[in-house]
Chain A
């Protein structure tokens, strides 16, 4: 049922920015932004719009790093940063806003310091908090544009719904391994995130960066695209990604584009919205409370300590490693490797008369493997609780964690 009215064709502008009467540029600012000013597409007009603009960046990690830096460099007058996390060593592979000395520090502090160093003339607001249904509307309301650089579905839906309710564009970017997506949601007449994905995947069905990995530079590319879209929307030039889903594959170095339509029946931005206020997004996405959900498994578990005791005792235990070959190369405990994806085809290699202990990195994949084996008739299967990470913590610290 194709709708004829949903594609946004109007020139993009952020109304509040162009109405700002009292913004001027100092002599120093004119020098700083000279490369903008000498381009007719930006000029004084565009630069003043940038200075008057207020952009909220949610997340200062992989996507937030290039985003924050390019918005600050461009002279966006007021940038809000939202992040409650602390810098971790594993972040530095891609979150280039931070230095090694920042490990352990709140990201928001390190980010603000870096951005203020880049451009001391702009205003940086910091919100060291998790965005929730209780605070989102309040935090978002003072900004013209929201850029979503978050790392989980619950927050994406929260940001989307809040943007639609407040009538603010939401510059979207997301990544996975070598692939990225970008679009502009919540633009008047354009689709929102829920028009594209009405419901989130159940937890555990789509791996995260921690489980799937990510090429470090990928969020750099996608975050830069988000920055470009943000700047274009502010200065009102070019064609924004409204109604367009940009797909990027770094491995093949190809960009593709799909058409996004505003869903007339969208529960948030449609003609008859059923979502008129923010909901419990953790519940919506199936994540209960603060803890990561453990997969529902009826398979008995064994802790690394218990396994070590039994091995030392001489018990005949068959260790099944269901990780990938490249993980085995990082570290292993001598298990027999059958990657989870191959298990159904290679199950005949296993002896069901032996006691099998399945393990993976953190215990999730091996729980799936154990469940599969149980259903295939294996009676003596145990899942190693916490995986090789827990083995490193509890039994053998020489095993590297990754």
Chain B
């Protein structure tokens, strides 16, 4: 399935500065795998060392959080949008 993956601003530096990427994938897991294969530096920002999606990063298919669908096994349809939404807080140096 051809899907669009939206890259949030804080991660664009690790995705060749692109705001979105078109990929072929049947599930969310495949889409993220294809994404991190294409952009290796993204991996550590999306996944912790034990291979799990980082908890401050949420993934949506269209407007639904995958935690309430079938998580990374959520099946994708043609033209779906996969959004990566990390927490942002602006402001202070920390």
- B91 on the interface (CB 8 Å rule)? yes
> Considering the complex, which residues of chain A in the window 143-188 have a beta carbon less than 8 Å from any beta carbon of chain B?
150-153, 156, 174-179, 181
| Interface residues as binary, A115-132 with B (CB distance below 8 Å gives 1, 0 otherwise) | 000000000000000000
Which residues in B have their C-beta under 8 angstroms from that of A252?
Answer: 19
Given contacts A179-B8, A259-B63, contact A174 B93 (CB under 8 A): no
A330 on interface, CB distance cutoff 8 Å: no
B10 touches A1 (CB 8 A): no
Total contacts A-B at CB 8 Å: 116
Q: B63-94 vs A: 1/0 string, CB under 8 Å? A: 11101110000000000000101111111111
In the complex the two chains form, is B55's CB within 8 Å of A197's CB?
Answer: yes
Task: State the Cβ distance, A216 to closest chain B Cβ, in Å.
Answer: 12
Residues of chain A within 8 A of B65, CB atoms compared: 258-261
Are the C-beta atoms of A152 and B63 separated by less than 8 Å?
no
Is B54 part of the binding interface, using a Cβ–Cβ cutoff of 8 Å? Answer: yes
Across-interface contacts of B94 in A (CB, < 8 A) = 152-153, 203-204, 208, 285, 287, 292-293
Cβ of A357 within 8 Å of any chain B Cβ, yes or no, is: no
* CB-based nearest A residue for B65: A261
Instruction: Quote the shortest CB–CB distance from A402 to chain B (angstroms).
Output: 13
**A197–B53 CA distance with the chains assembled, in angstroms:** 12
* Chain B residues closer than 8 Å to A203, beta-carbon distance: 94
B86 touches A206 (CB 8 A): yes
Q: Is A219 within 8 A of B93, CB to CB?
A: no
Given that A1-B68, A176-B9, A179-B88 are contacting pairs, would A292 and B93 also be in contact in the complex, using a CB cutoff of 8 Å? yes
Please, which residues of chain B bring their CB within 8 A of the CB of A271?
none
Do residues B64 and A219 form an inter-chain contact, with CB atoms below 8 A?
no
Which of B45, B56, B63, B86 has the most CB atoms of chain A within a 10 A radius of its CB? B56
- Minimum CB–CB distance from A269 to chain B (whole Å) comes to 15
> Number of contact residues on B: which range applies?
20 to 34
Q: Is B13 an interface residue (CB 8 A)?
A: yes
Q: How far is the CA of A29 from the CA of B10 in the complex (A)?
A: 45
A260 cross-chain contacts in B, Cβ below 8 A: 65
Q: Which of A54-68 contact B (CB under 8 A)?
A: 61-63
When distances are taken between beta carbons in the complex, the residues of chain B under 8 Å from A256 are 63, 83
Q: B10 to A212, Cβ gap below 8 A?
A: yes
A257 within 8 A of B: yes
B90 touches which of A1, A151, A259, A341 (Cβ 8 Å)? A151
Nearest CB in chain A: distance from B53 CB, A: 12
Residues of chain B with a CB closer than 8 A to A285's CB? 94
User: Known: A198-B55, A205-B45. Is A258-B91 also a contact (CB below 8 A)?
Assistant: no
Give the CA-CA distance A287 to B45 in the complex, in Å: 19
A327 at the interface (CB under 8 A from B): no
- In the bound complex, what is the Cα–Cα distance between A152 and B66 (angstroms)? 26
Contacts of A219 in B (CB 8 A): 90
- Known contacts A257-B63, A259-B64: does B88 contact A174 (CB below 8 Å)? yes
CA distance A86 to B33 in the complex (A): 46
Q: Is B87 a contact partner of A206 (Cβ separation < 8 A)?
A: yes
Contact across chains for B68 and A2 when beta carbons are under 8 A apart: yes
In the complex, 26 of the A-B residue pairs with CB atoms within 8 angstroms, ordered by the A residue number, are A2-B69, A61-B91, A152-B94, A153-B94, A177-B10, A179-B88, A181-B85, A196-B87, A199-B56, A201-B54, A203-B94, A206-B10, A206-B86, A208-B91, A208-B92, A208-B94, A210-B91, A247-B85, A249-B9, A257-B63, A258-B63, A258-B64, A261-B68, A263-B67, A293-B94, A344-B41
